[in-house]
Amino acid sequence: VARDGDAPPVLEGGASHTHPRRRDVLASLASAASAAALGSALPAWAALAEPTLSEVTPAVAPSPALTALEQGTVSLFERSTRSVVNVVDLTVLSGQAMKSGAVVPEGNGTGVVWDDQGHVVTNYHVLGAILGVTPENRRADLECAKVTLLGPDGRTKTFSATLVGVERSKDLAVIKVNAPKEFLAPATVGVSKNVRVGQAVFAIGNPFGFDHTLTTGVVSGLNRTIQSQAGSLISGGIQTDAAINPGNSGGALLDASGALVGINTAIFTNTGASAGVGFAIPVDLVARVVPQLIEFGRVTLPGLNITVADPNVMKQLGVRAAGVLVQSVAPKSAAEKAGLLPTRRALGGIVAGDVIVGADGAKITTEGDLVAAVELHQVGEKITLRVRRGEGGAEEDIKELDVAVTLEPAR
């Protein structure tokens, strides 16, 4: 008989023998312990019912009302977006498939609806591909682009466009789209001479092919001389930090009222993407060029028909005044008749010509300043130049005088 505390008897073969009743008690205790251990190991959610869809759906807060600033921007975009169109050079359209996310080649750009006759203003370089392969004598009524306009119902439609005229030196071109009147929403043309550094501006265009994209910023600088992608220098440029990317060329730069103050043309970048330095052709210049392109197909720009010296030449000649040194004057020109003196060779060496330091009361310090002053006029109008004569010589021999020059067609 086994007593409590005795080891269980060992049966033949090594198996132990436990009293049946005691074995049942031990089994019950083990089962209870296992159940308790299992219950403590289960997470709390195992004992709960699965949540319903409504229980896991968060409450949605109502959209707040737009601020006055936001509402103003939205209203400006909605009023102006139909005046901005997508312009694609036909040679680019036929030669490359345009895919979202792909690098946008030159020739896929933007334009601005100028009037209800279908005239659209864009950059010369947007049409550079087809213009480069078409001789000037074959450009009349040339089908040059496809233009996509936004209709009053919000749907876009693409139309063919013919060439009206171009002015490469100003990176401007006018095309005409054959579209119904309801698709034509002319831009409101503003005034760029009143633009100030720090004021808000808005750019609408088609960067990377994404149509009717709005970017915002401020005017960062004025009277910039910029080199366009067509290779020409443009004076009086508006600098902005509103993002301007490939595809924005030819698009609208607007003031806070929605008036057109510039045509976006170039960016300063090492990567090809916006770096916060973009440039626009001032609308005052555009407004002088475009009507001539529409009327005559070309532009007659005013000019003094002089050449100016490099600043290094001014230093070598001992010119101390901050201005523009006249290097040469075209023979029989209005400038020569007015008495403007060029730099010339004399017995004692080279004599500095007149140094232009002002024009119509405005200060002139660079060639860009002079070009901008001239372009405020039309051919046949007079411009009054303030010059210093005798620079490079003794101070007492220097004279300041005004010279009135009748502007001629630029040669």
Establish whether 249 is a catalytic residue.
Answer: yes
Residue with tokens 């209800």: 116
Establish whether 19 is a catalytic residue.
Answer: no
Given the residues 249, 255, 284, 333, the one annotated as active site: 249
- Non-local CB neighbours of 178 within 8 Å, separated by 6+ positions: 118, 159, 160, 161, 162
CB-CB neighbours of 178 under 10 Å: 10
Q: Which two tokens stand for residue 372?
A: 């901008």
CA distance 285 to 262: 9
Given the residues 125, 220, 274, 354, the one annotated as active site: 125
Nearest 5 degrees, angle CA 376-CA 263-CA 92? 130
Establish whether 17 is a catalytic residue.
Answer: no
CB-CB neighbours of 217 under 10 Å: 18
Given the residues 89, 119, 171, 284, the one annotated as active site: 171
CA dihedral 255, 374, 122, 174 (to 10 degrees): 130
Residue with tokens 């009054």: 384
CA distance 39 to 33: 10
Residue numbers annotated as active site: 125, 171, 249
